[in-house]
Amino acid sequence: LTERFSGIVEKLKRVKRLDEKTVEEALKDIRRALIEADVNIEVIKSFLDDLKQKLVGQEVIKGLNAGETVIKLIYDEVLNILGEEAPLQRSEKPPTVIMLVGLQGTGKTTTAGKLAKWLKSKGYKVGLVSTDVRRPAAGKQLCTLAKTIDVPCFIDEEEKDAVRLTEKVIQKAKEAGLSHIILDTAGRLHIDQELMDELVHIKEKVNPSEILYVADAMQGQDAISTAEEFHNRVGLTGVILTKLDGDAKGGIALSVRKVIGVPIKFIGVGEKIEDFQQFHPDRIAQRILGLGDIQTLLEKMQTAIDEKKAEEMAKRVMNAEFTLDDLKQQLQMIRNLGPLENVLKMIPGLGSKIKDLKVDEKQFIRIEAIINSMTPEERANPHIINGSRKRRIARGSGTTIMDVNRVLKQYKEMKKMMKKMKKSGKMKLPFNMPN
């Protein structure tokens, strides 16, 4: 696991149940990790309080140790706060208007271009509009971007009133038959009353489907109070986090979600127009916690589940109850382990013998398909599978009657072998490799 949490895993090595003291100890490390990731202090506090309640008294997850359990539960909690992936809202009556708001320099104009390109790639007809009447350069910057992605750009250098300008250009955009219009609004260095009023007026005039707050992930703690102000005044429907390509750990994502509660929709990961992605909570959660290795944990849990299944199956095998359904499950388990050659090489004594063996995985898939095409009754009582049933199964699975016969024969032999094993009391690999 990552260094940040290796301490927790080490400390809790032998813990079986998470008591209050153990949890508090572990949470200290978590607090440090969250501070490093730039999560807002207030947010950390309430997050840890909630977390403590959830953790105390928890059983250790099967397949993980106590430390790993703690990390898994924290990860789940972060995911929970970050929320689901949320699609962009669309207006029933086109065009859908998307307003980008935020302070100066957070990346609004760049993001307008990125979002336009993203929507265009989905087949939409997008137009860009600058409502910044104060700085003509702002409109130019936007239209230069628009040119590179080949979408229309609407500005009006004569109009000095942002609200009237917006109305005018939206009318033009409608006439152009656009499905989406992205409004790049003016920013300021700090929150100011005039700007907020302007945004509220624009909102009232154009009734946007989305008002997305563009937040600079490098900004740290400040971004949260600013976002709150924007939300209180203008009413945000979502957030786009920019500059996540730098050192920013993404803690702002957690803060923003916890404080404002609106979904994060996209992230910007570079200056180039294609450096733009839909928001994936799991990726950000891993980044905030510095868990490159959460995947390993999830896989370990999965293995524990598979082991339990294998145990159950072994029991069935020993009792010679082995059905065609069991066979199918066993094949799936083997395939889940990865390329068969590698799996077989790991079996002691077998590795050297199969050096040049090329396992035909297609054959496994074919067997599964054949079993899938059988009715539950046929799987439980293979002896009822007569000629016409075989024909139906072959047709259903895209194989031949010969293939069906072969699977039935192999299954019979396996079952016989298992009966013998049961008598002799010796357990061997229950599954014969097809060849």
- Chain residues binding ligand GDP by CB under 6 A are 102, 104-110, 187, 242-243, 245-246, 268-271, 275
In the bound state with ligand GDP, the residue whose beta carbon lies nearer, of 27 and 215, is 215
Q: Of the candidates 40, 69, 109, 166, which one interacts with Mg ion according to CB under 5 A? A: 109
Which does residue 270 bind out of ligand GDP, Mg ion, none, counting CB within 5 to 8 angstroms by kind? Answer: ligand GDP
Which does residue 242 bind out of Mg ion, ligand GDP, none, counting CB within 5 to 8 angstroms by kind? Answer: ligand GDP
Known binding positions for GTP: 102-109, 184-188, 242-245
Question: Cβ 264 to ligand GDP, closest distance in Å?
Answer: 14
Rule CB under 5 A: which of 89-108 touch Mg ion?
108
What string of DSSP letters covers 321-350? ---HHHHHHHHHHHHHTS-HHHHHHTSTTT
What are the C-alpha distances in Å from 219 to residues 108, 211, 291?
14, 20, 22
In the bound state with ligand GDP, the residue whose beta carbon lies nearer, of 218 and 433, is 218
Q: Does 226 bind Mg ion (CB under 5 A)?
A: no
| 123-155 b/e (C-beta count within 10 Å ≥ 16 → b) | ebbbbbbbbbbeeeebbebbeebbeebebbbbb
> Which sign, positive or negative, has the C-alpha torsion 149, 150, 151, 154?
positive
- Residues that bind Mg ion (rule: CB under 5 A) add up to a total of 2
In the bound state with Mg ion, the residue whose beta carbon lies nearer, of 108 and 390, is 108
In the bound state with ligand GDP, the residue whose beta carbon lies nearer, of 152 and 268, is 268
- Position of minimal CB gap to ligand GDP: 268
Q: Position of tokens 């939409």?
A: 124
Which does residue 243 bind out of ligand GDP, Mg ion, none, counting CB within 5 to 8 angstroms by kind? Answer: ligand GDP
Structural contact between residues 9 and 71, judged by C-beta atoms closer than 8 angstroms: yes
Question: Cβ 233 to ligand GDP, closest distance in Å?
Answer: 18
Nearest to 262 by CA among 219, 216, 228, 222: 228
Q: Mention every residue, 6+ apart, whose C-beta is less than 8 A from residue 252.
A: 38, 39, 40, 215, 217, 219, 220, 223, 224, 241
Nearest to 247 by CA among 263, 269, 228, 275: 269
Q: Which two tokens stand for residue 255?
A: 């803060």
Residues recorded for the chain = 435
In the bound state with ligand GDP, the residue whose beta carbon lies nearer, of 277 and 329, is 277
Evaluate the omega torsion of the peptide bond into residue 95 and state whether it is cis, within 30 degrees of 0. Answer: yes
Give the SS3 label for residue 320.
coil
Which does residue 271 bind out of Mg ion, ligand GDP, none, counting CB within 5 to 8 angstroms by kind? Answer: ligand GDP
Which does residue 197 bind out of ligand GDP, Mg ion, none, counting CB within 5 to 8 angstroms by kind? Answer: none
In the bound state with ligand GDP, the residue whose beta carbon lies nearer, of 275 and 282, is 275
Which does residue 269 bind out of Mg ion, ligand GDP, none, counting CB within 5 to 8 angstroms by kind? Answer: ligand GDP
Question: Cβ 246 to ligand GDP, closest distance in Å?
Answer: 6
Q: Which two tokens stand for residue 252?
A: 């702002």
Q: Which residues bind Mg ion (CB under 5 A)?
A: 108-109
